[in-house]
Amino acid sequence: MTLRTILLCLLSCMQAFAFADLNAGLRALDKGDYDTALKELLPLARQGNPEAQFGLGFMYRHGGQGVPKNNKEAVKWYRLAADQGDFGAQNNLGHMYEHGLGVPQDYIQAHMWYNLAGYAGFRDRLAEKMSPMQIAEAQRLAREWKPTNPGKKRN
């Protein structure tokens, strides 16, 4: 067995363990076991995994078992996932900006994130509160937006 083969095997095993941790974290999150979810997802989120980042954003947004409700922390994790093209995080970030949760209320940012997420209903409802100039700015920002790591996008 060559060194290259051994390294490829090790990398595959490491990816399998990371995947298992993600699944364990997401299962725990789904059950409301935030203590376990935090332990499993935090290392992966710090490594840039958008699903883990979204999960942390969700936990901090809602708070629960071992995780305090903290909108600023939720925005931080949603933003990291949204910047990678995660549609759910983009939608939730739009909600945070629309309602000023953890960030100053900003309809332009909210509209942009809803637009990127593809949630026309939220975007159009919000547009009723905005001036044509604000809408144009939000649309420009959405057009110019580029994901930071498109290869890790979560569907």
CATH code for the domain defined by 10-152: 1.25.40.10
| DSSP 8-state code for residue 105 | -
Instruction: Judge contact between 96 and 71, C-beta under 8 A.
Output: yes
- Give the C-alpha distances (Å, rounded to integers) separating 118 from 18, 29, 87, 115: 30, 25, 8, 5
Q: Where are the domains of the chain?
A: 10-152
Instruction: Judge contact between 92 and 57, C-beta under 8 A.
Output: yes
Task: Specify the pLDDT at position 149.
Answer: 74
Instruction: Judge contact between 147 and 153, C-beta under 8 A.
Output: yes
pLDDT, tens only, 27-58: 999 998 999 999 999 999 999 999 999 999 99
Summarize the confidence of residues 2-25 as an average pLDDT: 53
Kindly report the pTM of this predicted structure: 0.82
Instruction: Judge contact between 71 and 42, C-beta under 8 A.
Output: no
